[in-house]
């Protein structure tokens, strides 16, 4: 049996090696390392795939979030509503820009921000809501967009884990994750569902003014070379990365269904195990399973992780410490904020290996060991 990994990027590469190698060599031969034609090709192809007017490529997902907030003309002290149960980047950029993160609890089933808790967190300083489409399914966007409209707030979607997911609105319209709010932010980090071979990211928007602003900020605040209108940064997608992403974008839907098949296998195998709650998928969104995350009850999680490890099965806790308890936010004094679901999830979630080239044999082996441990020791 092939070695089990959380993500098996080597096996995925082997299946596209000749195309990828040729594309990389081509960029090197052309020496178009910065803003080569592959960057604008990929941008247009992603716009088409997402059915969005503007994609602005950038250097990574964290930059995408930072630049998105910079484009919204906020003042220091303005408040940004965000879940605490997320990867640190979502919340870090808020504080970095002198804004105030306001943490809201998540739903126990979808792990995404709880819309019913957003309204009570709104003050006259609130300017933005940043929902995170955690693990690969969309947050409850109809509810979030309705609140944003009512209070005149901007919505920045963190879709780093959900590229390719579809959300069905109440009116039947289907939107791709990241194209529903004012700005969507994604990451092409290698292990993401559409990953490159280094760092990469992008912002999406349907608003031409925001698109111009995002593009300008990502390019040192300039539209005309050497004329810097606003304070910006240097955030570009490398041509080599764009060339790789151009090859992988047409494969994305296939990659998502491969992940969905893995999830189905796990769901089925764990259906009768009462100590395991398999991931819930909300009816109005597809789930692209960036992570397959179970909730454990009556199981010593640490011992399970060690047992699996000793049998060559990796597993991960995403995320062991929620944002509101991180040292970086100490000055906001939120470490004792009552976010019961967030706090509870950090104690009981466990993510199992899931990727695009998983083999039946590996899945049988993983599920057999998880169930064996639970039946014997729990």
Ligand X SMILES: *Cc1c(COP(=O)(O)O)cnc(C)c1O
- Give the footprint of ligand X on this chain (CB under 6 A): 60-62, 86-87, 89-90, 132, 158, 160-161, 187, 189, 199, 201
Pairing of strands 183-187, 154-158: parallel
Q: CA 362, 365, 369, 375 torsion: positive or negative?
A: positive
Beta strands 201-205 and 183-187: pairing type? antiparallel
Query: How many angstroms separate the CA atoms of 217 and 63, rounded?
Result: 11
Comparing CB distances to ligand X, the nearer of 86 and 346 is: 86
Of the pair 91, 315, the CB lying nearest ligand X is at 91
- Give 161 or 213: the residue with its C-beta nearer to ligand X: 161
Comparing every residue's Cβ against ligand X, the nearest one is 61
Residues paired with 80 in a beta bridge: 101, 128
Cα(271)–Cα(297) distance, rounded to whole angstroms? Answer: 14
* Closest CB 187 distance from ligand X, rounded Å: 3
C-beta closer to ligand X: residue 86 or 179: 86
Residues 6+ apart with CB under 8 A from 75: none
**Least Å distance between CB 97 and ligand X?**
15
DSSP classification of residue 112: S
Residues present in the chain in total: 378
Q: Which is nearer to ligand X, 62 or 356 (CB)?
A: 62
Burial status of residue 1 (CB atoms within 10 A of its CB: 0-12, 13-18, 19 or more): exposed
Rounded least distance, CB 274 to ligand X, Å = 30
- Least spacing, CB of residue 226 vs ligand X, in Å: 29
Closest distance of CB 113 from ligand X, Å: 12
């Amino acid at each position: 049996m092939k070695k089990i990994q959380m993500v098996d990027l080597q096996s995925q590469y082997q299946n596209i090696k000749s195309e990828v190698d040729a594309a990389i060599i081509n960029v090197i031969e052309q020496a178009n390392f910065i803003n080569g034609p592959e960057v604008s090709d990929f941008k247009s192809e992603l716009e088409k795939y997402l059915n969005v007017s503007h994609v602005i490529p950038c250097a990574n997902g964290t930059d995408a979030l930072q630049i998105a907030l910079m484009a919204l003309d906020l003042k220091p002290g303005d408040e940004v509503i965000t879940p605490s149960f997320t990867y640190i980047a979502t919340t870090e950029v808020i504080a970095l820009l002198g804004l105030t993160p306001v943490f809201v609890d998540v739903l126990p089933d979808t792990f995404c921000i709880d819309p019913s808790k957003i309204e009570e967190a709104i003050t006259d300083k609130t300017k933005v809501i940043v929902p995170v489409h955690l693990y690969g399914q969309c947050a409850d966007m109809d509810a979030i967009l309705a609140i944003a409209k009512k209070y005149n707030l901007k919505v920045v979607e963190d879709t780093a884990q959900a590229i390719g997911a579809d959300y069905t609105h109440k009116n039947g319209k289907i939107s791709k994750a990241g194209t529903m709010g004012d700005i969507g932010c994604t990451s092409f980090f290698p292990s993401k569902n559409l990953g490159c071979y280094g760092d990469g990211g992008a912002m999406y928007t349907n608003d031409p003014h925001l698109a111009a602003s995002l593009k300008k900020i990502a390019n040192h605040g300039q539209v005309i070379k050497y004329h810097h209108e606003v304070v910006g940064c240097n955030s570009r997608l490398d041509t080599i990365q764009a060339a790789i992403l151009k090859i992988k974008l047409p494969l994305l839907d296939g990659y998502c269904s491969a992940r969905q098949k893995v999830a189905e296998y796990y769901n089925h195998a764990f259906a009768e195990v009462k100590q395991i709650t398999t991931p819930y998928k909300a009816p109005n969104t597809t789930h692209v399973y960036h992570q397959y995350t179970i909730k454990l009850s009556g199981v010593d999680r640490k011992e399970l992780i060690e047992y699996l490890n000793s049998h060559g099965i990796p597993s991960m806790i995403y995320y062991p410490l929620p944002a509101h308890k991180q040292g970086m936010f100490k000055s906001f004094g939120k470490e004792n904020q009552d976010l019961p679901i967030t706090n509870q999830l950090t104690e009981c979630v466990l993510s199992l290996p899931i990727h695009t080239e998983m083999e039946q044999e590996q899945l049988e082996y993983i599920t057999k060991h998880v169930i064996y441990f639970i039946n014997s020791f729990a």
